[in-house]
Amino acid sequence: MSENRHGPVVDTSASRHARLRPVAPQDVRVTDDFWAPRLRRNREVTIPAQHEQCETTGALRNFARAAGSVGGDFSGRYYSDSDVYKWIEAASWSLATDPSAELGDRLDAVIKLVSGAQDADGYLNTYFSVDRVGERWTDLVVRHEMYCIGHLVAAAVAHVRATGETTLLDVALRACTHIASRFAPGEVPGTCGHPGLEMALVELYRTTGDERWLTLATWQLDSRGAGVLDGSEYLIDHEPVRTQSRVTGHAVRALYLYAGMADVVLETGDAELRGALQRLWADLSGGKTAVTGGVGARWDGEAFGDAYELPDRAYNETCAAIAHIFLAWRLLLLTGEPEYRDAVETALHNGVLPGLSQSGTEFFYQNPLADAGRHRREPWFSCACCPPNIARLLASLPGYLYTTSDEGLWVQLYIGNQADLRLADGTPVRVDVATGLPWRGTVGVTVSPPAPTEFTLFLPVPGWAGGDVTVRVNGVDAAVEAGSRQVALRRTWTAGDSVELGFGTEVRALVAHPRVAATHHRVALARGPLVYCVEQADHETPVAGLRLRGTEEWAAEHRADLLGGVTTLTATGSAVAVDDGPLYRTYSGSPEPTSSVPVTAIPYYAWANRAPGEMRVFIPLADR
């Protein structure tokens, strides 16, 4: 087994085809005023609350039942094991960055439950224990057996990288050995109706160095399109993955699958899979992604729609935004291209954060871009995939801030932190980042190697900055090429060398492609990495009647007293009458605005934390 403790979330350190290598979460301590409180709330409130939910719903008891230590019926959905595994992963990454004896003891107890539920042949799924043993592997389309093992593997990898302990890894290895014997590569096609095991198997290969798991992951990818899942487009079984070019089907399943494809490409350089990924990403980013980075337009099947089918009431499942990040992160590691970094940043701030309440204990499953005031966060769901998914992503977030390459060090996300990193040649370097983001476009980076060291420091220019960037190195202006998406500073760095960056944070009025019928003649507001919305709590005029010209001068004001501290945007807009007249009327020109009204916008992630009321991201334009 290869050295596996202290590893990144996605460990491409030995991946022959990776452009970039990420760092371990425990190498980075998040310190800024925006993200540090959220990560603290995640470990102090969200993770403990979710453990309690796993107890209340019976998900933990199911493991004791499978081990024969308690009786009674199975509780919850047939994939409830995955809720527990995601909790283990969140707890493990939390321990990696912030050791806690209490959480460590609780985690050990849960792992003991999981281990006790495993059969002698390696099979592990509590739904198919006790009274459903004969139904095992009879329904790959629906029953999520491999999907659950995928989350077990991801949890085991996180646990060993956080603690160095292999107890759960041994359980995962036995489970995967069982799957490999049942669906032998090259012999018995087998893949799950819900992908997830594929990328976990590649990470298991990276952890152990055992080629079997990379081979099995590739076999599962190539089992699609052969009718194992009844040729279902919803399950992404309609054609071989190597020839696919259209993002379709259940959004989370599709993006987990594509992330697994990217993992295989990172290890093998498979040209066919890489070509498919390029086509699929072009389809995803070109016509199937909401302005928030949310994906999955249809409530029917939690699925992607057609190109440009991006309605206000889109489904935009929180898990799908997380899956979007998983795919974009792997493509960034593969290529180093800035569009993937931007996708991670957008989905993180606007696709994932809305899924979590200010308290840290309520969650959104769906994230529509408009609402009448009825959509509110809930403490848990009967299908509870999203809450622990948020918890594990936030717990591992420090591992997404930096990457390295043979050329030097890359900052990826401008989140305030203190990091102790190593360059590709093993040279240690301390990095301190202070930033005003997401509210102010200021970033300070201090680099401190123990001795003068030559390397390149790569600093992204976010797409939202529009090329408006200034750079100073040790107080001296540095030239930045116009339109550059990256600043590359090659020099011999000494302890205390500093870089100051300034980015434009002007309010952007965004319009969608003309083919997006739902947002025709409407604008969305964005500032820095954040998308904004208007909410009824800030307006006396009905939100439905608000109109903008798209050329307003917006005033940005930071309100420490509002929604945990947000920067609001205010301008003078107009309003049209919102009446109780007939649903359809004879057209007689656009309605004349009745008055000038103040318009206040708040970050989209913060909506639905006050009194229920109407909300919109896209605001109609006034014709005059």
Q: What is the pLDDT of residue 594?
A: 78
Q: What is the pLDDT of residue 34?
A: 98
Q: Which of 203, 267, 302, 535 is catalytic?
A: 302
Collect the ranges in the chain with pLDDT lower than 70. Answer: 1-5, 624
Domain extents in the chain: 406-503, 507-620
Question: CB within 8 A of 63, min separation 6: which ones?
Answer: 81, 84, 113, 114, 116, 117, 126
Q: What is the pLDDT of residue 585?
A: 87
Q: What is the pLDDT of residue 217?
A: 98
In Å, how far are 209, 563, 605, 617 from 610, measured between CA atoms? 50, 8, 13, 17
Round to whole Å and give the CA distance between 229 and 362.
35
Give 448: exposed, middle or buried? Use CB within 10 Å, 0-12, 13-18, 19+: middle
In Å, how far are 33, 479, 507 from 482, measured between CA atoms? 31, 9, 21
> Are 342 and 348 contacting, i.e. CB atoms less than 8 angstroms apart?
no
Question: CB within 8 A of 194, min separation 6: which ones?
Answer: 79, 144, 146, 147, 250, 252, 253, 256
Q: What is the pLDDT of residue 482?
A: 81
557 is catalytic: no
385 is catalytic: yes
CATH class of residue range 406-503? mainly beta
Q: What is the pLDDT of residue 295?
A: 98
Q: Which of 176, 385, 386, 533 is catalytic?
A: 385
Label residue 363 left, alpha or beta by phi (over 0 means left) and psi (-120 to 50 means alpha). Answer: beta
Q: What is the pLDDT of residue 5?
A: 63
> Are 277 and 299 contacting, i.e. CB atoms less than 8 angstroms apart?
no
